[in-house]
Structure 1
Amino acid sequence: MKKIQTILLLITLLLPASLAAQGFTALWATGSAVPNGTQQLAKLPNGNFAFKGALNVGEVKVMTTETYQEGVTQFLKPQLTDSYLINKGLNYVTTKDASQPGWVVSFQEDYYHFVITPNDKKLQGELFFPWNELLIAGSAIRYGADNIEWKRDNMLPFVRDHEDPYLFTWEGELGVYNNVVEPGYFKLEGQMTWGPRELHPYQHGEDILDAQQVCIGGNDNKWKVTKNGRYRITVNLYTETIHAEMLPSSSYPSQEVLGISTTEGEAGTPASVYDLNGMKRASLGPGLNIIRRTDGRIIKVAKRKI
């Protein structure tokens, strides 16, 4: 037994630092590109780490302690020289040598976003701009599915906030309906088709009323509705958060998709009109419009070009 323990100890000591990296509990971004000198990365439920915020021209280093401790702090060094922070996924290795180069930031911007995936030993970075639209899809919305598949053309749009382009809100009926596939489930799409932009829960079947975070991309998990009723769902793409609440059904009539109207008169009196990007319009414009009526319903209306 003692011999086995000695062998295991030797194996542990000889493990490369890159394997030990799988046990990260926290990571920090530092370097000349980080405006405040050091910023902690957010740890995501799937074990990844994310940074969102402003960066200056310079260098970003990712380290395992908040302040540098010689012989203790590990740095996630790009495997390739002159590696740019904006990339589609570049490998890193770990080192305790603080003089090793970090990730290159070539221009100043307020909306950098990069993710560390320890299991893959990769860093992937981008500029995170607002999405033009967000839609709810699935069998939890009425007419969102049949007994064979989800209906892509019956997705319902969120409304984008006028002040914060990363903030989207949707109100409508959700429930567990009969004779549909995956009854009570839904996910969110960034376009009126399946991908590439999608939002999912980190755990499949998470009750939407308990949900707090969204996963951009990832596994094809779905949220689940356990109570039929009218909901308000708010999503902040920048903070990757979601909040849902049930609304009094007596105060908020059911949301319906009444179909496509070809004349303005058939739409009824709109309380507000939006384009497909969620931007408010003064009146119906040519093409497809999203209308929130005075009775609380939301409909899609197509106006013919004259």
Structure 2
Amino acid sequence: MNSILNLKRFYVITLVLVLGVISGSCETDELEDPSIENVNNELALTVSEENLELEERFMGNELGFTWSTGTNRGTGAAIMYTLEIDLAGSDFSDPLITLVEGEKNRYLASIDHGTLNHRLLNSGLDAGTVYDLEARLTAEVADPAVEDQVSKKAFSVATYKPVSSKLFIVGDASPNGWDISNATKLTAANQRGVFIYEGKLTEGNFKFAVSQDDCFCQDFYTKDADDDNKIVYNEGGSGEDIQWTVTEEGNYRLRVDLLNKTIDINPIEDSPFDRLWIVGDATKSGWDINNPAAFERSEEDPFVFTYEGNFNPGSFKILAGETGDFCGEWYRPLENGQAPVDGSVEQRAGCEPDYNWTVTEETAGRYRVSLNTGNNTIKFTPMGLYIVGDGSPSDWNINTPMPLTYDNGDFVFNGELGAINPTGEFKFSKSVGDWCNGEWIVSAENGQAVTNPEHITAIGCVGPDNKWKLQEGDAGTYEIRINLDTDNMTITKL
């Protein structure tokens, strides 16, 4: 958090300096490109942290760069900027990273710690090593009579080895014993580095392997000698092989956090049902009792089931257990025609009384529905969709982004793209106020053309952090329609 606050202060201070340089070097403050009348400004590059130790748990933090305008020697020609990163002392013939390439009106750039680490390792650098790097900013003036200007800034980065994307439980307390090749895989949570196991454990011991390679020389996570709730990373099977011990057979829930190196072990009771379904003409299921849309069971609480979807005028109820029977097990409101609001539910089998929730024109929209089968309560959370990015009207303000309008199942943006930055970027958030807490609708490829509606869903800061990018001439008025139920998107320039 301190790193984020420091980066924000860095941007504010350096932006003031840049604006000061701009205002001092221009004859008028109405010029769109402050480099047009720039005569003698010296190109200067600044980095937010000169000695950076990357940590995977803070992968969303950013390393920032800002720079002054440089000079066009009064020619009135535009200045294009290229920002590259390479090993210190290199000639930049094949830079490790190119952050900015030939862009006008650009005076800052940033890269998040996770992306920086990934790109350094992909370039052949080693994890767990400190490297002396250098950032090189090149200012190229459109008038060939003006020489290029270069500013360099040295800094160091300590890389890290990313945690495993898979985790397996092995041991005589686990379902498949000490057979690593058949070890039980844990479920990856929606939080980076977190894995969940729910199921039976017998008397005995267990630990965690990162693969099903049949070798005890692979990487393991074992118990901390001083704390049962802490884990230790044993690379290549090194270190003390201290295991967790199960003294009482039963059903357990294990939550393993590889980034914070913690483990929670809790006995669990079972929910009365392992599947829930939504049924009704207010939802995409309609009244199809055989193929309704399913709820997702929480990885954190086995009693909680969640469904997210569009709700149009109509009725619905919640089926439990098996599909195909209108007189089967149901969760219903306490009275018929109940609005989609938080409250208690009744669980009973049979066709009567056939109470349903009712959605009206006024209450239609997209909701996240959470039903707790442990205490028979339900929660309805209205969901929105927001456009974010310097190519959008919101800029990069996640606290007050521009909401899209809900229209009969579609979220609709109708407005200007490129007004803030004609070559800016944008993506869509399903939440407000936190970059890493929620889902994003992002382009299928980073830097994707604004006319290409191909998209994917990304979770929090886990990424990928893809964005649509406006090119020269793309700025204008657009209608963007997104239906999260059908996963359909259209982008139309008006």
Which TM-score band (shorter chain)? 0.3 to 0.5
RCO greater where, 1 or 2, for CA within 8 Å and sep 6 or more?
1
Give the structure-2-normalised TM-score. 0.30
Give the structure-1-normalised TM-score. 0.45
